Structure 1
């Protein structure tokens, strides 16, 4: 599964640092270095999962996180 995220800021500048993505209910995770990187998150089984993206912040941007529900369907 390829998971994309975008970072938006209300002012000027570019966020730097690390964004970590993890899946609740398992040990799957990946990290991406900002700006302009990506990671691949491999969910190991079917079913509903909550994905959490967490940004640690930097000298100019506050830390933040957000959740997104996702369902992995079994192979047909």
Structure 2
């Protein structure tokens, strides 16, 4: 019975091995990446200003309240 269950695994294993072989073969045909061009593209991308690097406004400079994980309602003042 265990051998019958293993036969169900054979087709996916064969397909996976064939796909891995094809990707390896296709990757070899692609060629080498020009290192100088890649470094220049990386430098250009790092020089660009990202949204996270903008100067924070007044709300961002206010210190955050420390969360204790407990919800507390304000008193009603009665």
TM-score by length of structure 1 reads 0.18
The structure that has the greater radius of gyration is 2
TM-score by length of structure 2 reads 0.18
